[in-house]
Amino acid sequence: MPDIIHLLPDSIANQIAAGEVVQRPASAVKELLENSIDAGAKKIQLIIRDAGKQLIQIIDDGVGMSETDARMSLERHATSKIKNAEDLFRLRTMGFRGEALASIAAVSQMELRTRQSQNDLGTVIIVEGSEIKKQEPATSQVGTIILVKNLFYNIPARRNFLKGNPVEMKHIVDAFVQQALARPDLAFMLVHGDEVLFDVAPSKLSQRIVGLFGKGYQEQLAACQLETDLLKITGYVGRPESSKRTRGEQFLFVNNRFIRNNYLHHAVMNGFEGLLPEGSFPFYALFIELDPKHVDVNVHPTKTEIKFDDERSIYAYMRSAVKQALGAHNLSPTLDFSGDVNLMGKISDIQQQSHSQFYKEQTGEVPTRSAQNWEQLFEGLPVNRDDLKTERITEAEHNQVIRMESSINKGMEKPDTSEKILFQLQNKFIVREVSNGLMIINQQSAHERVLYDKFIRQLGQSKGVSQQALFPQTAEFSSSDFSLLMELEDELNALGFRFEVFGKTAILIQGLPIETTGQEKAVLEGLLEQFKANKQELQLPVRENLARSLAKRAALKTGQKLTSEQMSSLVAGLFSSSNPGFSPDGSTTFFIFETSKMEGYFSR
Ligand code: ADP
Ligand code: MG
């Protein structure tokens, strides 16, 4: 038998190692931020495109690297941070394994540009999938700029495994916030696309918290401070009343490194001693400082989990630090928000908005819009609240019945679509008066119907109206999607798409149907996805499928606010459509709450 064991080529070994270090764009972000911090940067800018799938760029003003170091930094197990095993127990840097850059370079197209202050020229290296494509002297500011493009471009399975942009972006924001909290003494900026999500100047921790989370946090922080022989604890906990129903704003740092540790989390919660509403989580940002020899960070490659040699003592100290903070009633005077800062200004409002919006979207952490709100409508009116409660149930039941009986299923006269006052209910329904009662229209289903009819017409005859892209976009597709695009080219043209072949599986998108919004590639991809799903589930004819898919993509969504002009034109469109009662996939578009039924509620 011949020998069959051989060593893996470096590029493959790197890819495998990368799997441990880089799971998603946010893991690369974390490593890059840590490197910039380790390099002594005072200002770190992070620029993200397409939730990090297309681009992660970091710009720091740290010490930079020499030509040789720049090249070495991309090798696995290459680090400037430890030399021997002893060093492992004295770690003060964030990184030390020398794996991050090699791993990221193995699974992306990377450009590294760096210069040290003593040199006039810096170095630029371009590397794709571990392969050095170019290294040469280059002009550069002092510090390091790294561009990570098309993460996982060479591992489609990984790339496909990534979640949608909001989810990936939330992970990135989390990673960013963790670092920005850990180092309030440094300036951080996070830009996504053309939106500045955060821009925070060096400040105290309290100001940093406000800068990242919004002004609302100003009043709710209680300072923690405890020092013993073993450790020092500093930071802030949120007041119990401001605690939230979801996790996500609990931050624990050990020697300025963000960590997760359920045991210590428990200690903090315990420190609140029954002050917390059931099932709620307080904000906290707590910093433990202790001699690194008591810490073993080497238990997990991404290093957010750590072990202590004396967990129990640390637990007890944490708990009592939190207790003391909450017991000290002088909550706000301990904070000093005196104002060098732009944090209080406009930017932080925007940040607060985008941040809390983010969390809302991601966690579904929206106040439950239940019965209470409904009752508020009656606030101040002489109504017996208990009666209201029972009434509410019957109303719900009635609604069911009304819906079933409503006359739409039996064929409808075309109502008079002019004049009558329209209003939007909860950004979901359009309500208008009709002769026999109140008509309630589902805006999304209605718009799908209107668009579907329009697209079918366009597919049948002339060309759809296209909006010309200002900058034509190239878009790469999988080969199966690309062939599908080619197959559908005529129909897509008729709908208003304009594109031409631009490479083996790429196209140049020059225009989109006027009805669509969003980024060119995303619109086409979304359409293809929908088309494929419909094809599989429903086996629709091509045109019917395309019209449906695009109608679904392009329709107004529930939650969108409409102007009264939009409402009138939608209602008019619906009632001149081929089938006003139903959306193309058969959902009801409206029903009528008949006056005769209403009268039932007021019977004397
Ligand atoms: P580690 O951080 O564990 O040492 P990395 O792969 O993250 O490993 O980085 C390798 C080396 O590259 C670092 O030890 C450091 O010397 C250098 N390096 C990485 N990023 C930067 C940066 N932004 N500025 C200066 N040097 C850097
Ligand atoms: Mg590192």
Element (H, E) at 208: helix 205-213
Task: Decide: 35 in ligand 1 pocket, CB within 6 A.
Answer: yes
Q: Cα(70) to centroid of ligand 1, in Å?
A: 9
Question: If you count DSSP H runs as helices and E runs as strands, how many of each does the chain have, helices first?
Answer: 19, 22
Is the pLDDT higher at 417 or at 379? 417
pLDDT at 372: 29
Q: Find out whether 76 and 98 touch, Cβ atoms under 8 Å.
A: yes
Three-state DSSP state, 436: coil
Query: Is residue 518 within 8 Å of 473, Cβ to Cβ?
Result: no
For the 205-362 domain, the top CATH level (class) is alpha beta
Mean local confidence (pLDDT), 75-81: 72
Tell the residue nearest (CA) to atom 23 of ligand 1: 36
Supply the DSSP string of 129-168, one letter for each residue.
Answer: TTEEEEEEEE---SEEEEEEESTTTT-HHHHHHS--HHHH
The residue that leads in pLDDT, 536 or 38, is 38
Question: Ligand 1 centroid vs 100 CA: distance in angstroms?
Answer: 8
Give the per-residue pLDDT at 413: 41
Which segment, 79-93, 378-392, 479-493, is predicted with the most confidence on average? 479-493
Q: Does the pLDDT value for residue 410 go beyond 60? A: no
Kindly give the number of the ligand 1 atom that is closest to the alpha carbon of 78. 10
**pLDDT, tens digit, for every residue of 344-394?**
222 233 333 333 333 333 333 322 222 223 223 223 322 233 333 333 323
Residue 157 has pLDDT above 80, yes or no: yes
Closest ligand to Cα 298: 1
Residue 173: pLDDT band (50, 70, 90) is very high
Residue 221 has pLDDT above 80, yes or no: yes
Q: Does the pLDDT at position 337 exceed 90?
A: no
Residue 515: Cβ within 10 Å count: 20
Domain-wise residue ranges, the chain:
10-200, 205-362, 371-604
Confidence bin at 405 (pLDDT 50/70/90): very low
Hey, is 392 helix, strand or coil? helix
Mean pLDDT computed over 260-272: 89
pLDDT higher than threshold 70 for residue 228: yes
Better pLDDT: 470 or 485: 485
Q: Which residue has the tokens 């800062």?
A: 341
- Decide which of 235 and 541 is more confident: 235
DSSP 582: B
Which of 328-342, 363-377, 444-458, 548-562 shows the lowest per-residue confidence on average (mean pLDDT)? 363-377
Least confident of 9-18, 149-158, 217-226, 250-259: 9-18
> What CATH code is assigned to 10-200?
3.30.565.10
Proximal ligand: closest to the CA of 70: 1
Q: What's the gap in Å between 189 CA and the centre of ligand 1?
A: 20
Q: What is the DSSP string of 316-344?
A: HHHHHHHHHHHH---TGGG----SS-STT
Answer yes or no: is pLDDT of 163 > 80: yes
Which residue did the predictor score with more confidence, 89 or 503? 503
Is any atom of ligand 1 closer than 6 Å to the C-beta of 98? yes
CATH number of 371-604: 3.30.1540.20
Identify the pLDDT of residue 335.
35
Strand 195-200, strand 55-60: pairing: unpaired
At 340, is the pLDDT very low, low, confident or very high (cuts 50, 70, 90)?
Answer: very low
Q: Which residue has the higher pLDDT, 136 or 354?
A: 136
**Quick one: average pLDDT of 318-335?**
66
Buried (b) or exposed (e) across 481-506, using 16+ Cβ within 10 A?
bbebbeebeebbbbbbbbbeeeeebe
Ligand 1 site-directed mutation target among 33, 82, 101, 125, most atoms within 8 Å of CB: 101
